Amino acid sequence: MTSLTTHTLLVELLTEELPPKALPRLGETFSGKIAEGLKACGLATADAKVRSFASPRRLAVTVSGVVAAAEPKEVTEKLMPVSVALDANGKPTPALLKKMEAKGISADAVAGFERRIDGKAEALFHTAMVPGARLAEVLAGIVQDAVKALPIPKVMRWGDGDATFVRPVHKLTMLHGADVVPGRVLDLASGRTTRGHRFMSRGEIDIASADAYEPTLLAEGKVIPVFAERRAEIERQLIDEAARQQASIGDYADLLDEVAALVEHPTVYVGEFEAEFLAVPQECLILTMRANQKYFPLFDRAGKLLNRFLIVSNMHLK
C-alpha cells in the first residue's frame, strides 16, 4: 500500500447486557474478524493497530491505518481451455465471446490473453487491473461477517425486524476518521452517536471521530470500554480495599473476570453480615457469596472467613 491517506476506523454495536462469561471472547472475535476483513480487502495497512472494546452493553473496535479505497490491483483469471476458446483458425469461439461479454472484457482483448498449461490442458488467462475495494461499499458486509463469526450458541429476535443476535442491538456506529461510513447491519443504519453508562451518563453521546471514541466514553459516558483495563481497575480497588480492611480476598481470578463483564464503571464497596452466621460452614458462605451474589469474601491472615466482603458496584455512589 502506497502513501494513501489513512484514518482510524471505529465500529461499535450498542446492545442490551451481553452474557458475561462469553464477553471477552465475543470482543476478541468481533475485533479480530473486522481487522481480518479490512486487510483482506486491502483497506488496512500491514502495521494497523487494532484495539478491542467489550463491555456489558457494547462490542467495538478501532483499527488504525485504514484507507477509504484500496489501490487497484492486477488480477489474472483463467477463462477456459484453448480447445474450447479458439477454433481451428485461432479465432475466438462463440463460447469465449459470450464469457468475455459476461465479464465485461472487450472483444479486441483476445490478442493479449496468455496461453499456458493448466493441469493437462492448455488454457487462456486474462490479466487486468481491477479497482480496489471502497470502504463505504464493503464495511457493512465485513461487520456482518464478523457478527456471523461470533461464538454465539443461541440467538434471539427483537422488535418486529428479522435481525438476530445474542442480545438486542440498538445502535451501530461506524466512523472513518470524523466521517460516518454509510451502511446497514442488523437492520440498523450507521451513525456517529452512542450511549454511555446506563445511569451515570447524559444519554446519547456524539463521537467526533474514531480516535475520540475511547476518551469520549471515559469522560462523558462514564464507561471504561476496554475489558482488560476495567478488570485491572477492579483488581486494584479490591486489593487496596482488602488492605484497608487488614484482610485478603483469596482466589478470585474467575470471579474477577465475570464481574469485569458485568460493570462499565466499577467501584468497590465493603459489606458485612452478622458475625453469628460464621457458625455456618465457611465453604457454604463462600460459595453463596461468590457464585450467587458475585461478592468477594474477605479472610484473615490465617485464611479464616471474616464477616465482611467486597462488592463491585456498577455505580459510584456520592
Q: What is the pLDDT of residues 227-259, one digit of tens each?
A: 999 999 999 999 999 999 999 998 889 999 999
Surface-to-core class of residue 58, CB atoms within 10 Å of its CB (0-12 exposed, 13-18 middle, 19+ buried): buried
**pLDDT by residue (tens digit) across 85-128?**
999 988 999 999 999 999 889 888 888 999 999 888 999 999 98
State how beta strands 305-313 and 267-272 pair: antiparallel
| For range 76-83, the mean pLDDT | 92
Q: What is the pLDDT of residue 318?
A: 65
Q: How many CB atoms lie within 10 A of CB 238?
A: 21
**Residues ≥6 apart with Cβ < 8 Å to 119:** none
pTM: 0.86
Instruction: Report the mean per-residue pLDDT for the chain.
Output: 95
Residue 266 pLDDT: 97
- Separation between Cα atoms, residue 309 and residue 311, nearest integer Å: 7
Amino acid at residue number 41: C
CA dist 204 to 169, 191, 300, 312, Å?
15, 12, 45, 25
Q: How far apart are CA 57 and CA 272, in angstroms?
A: 30
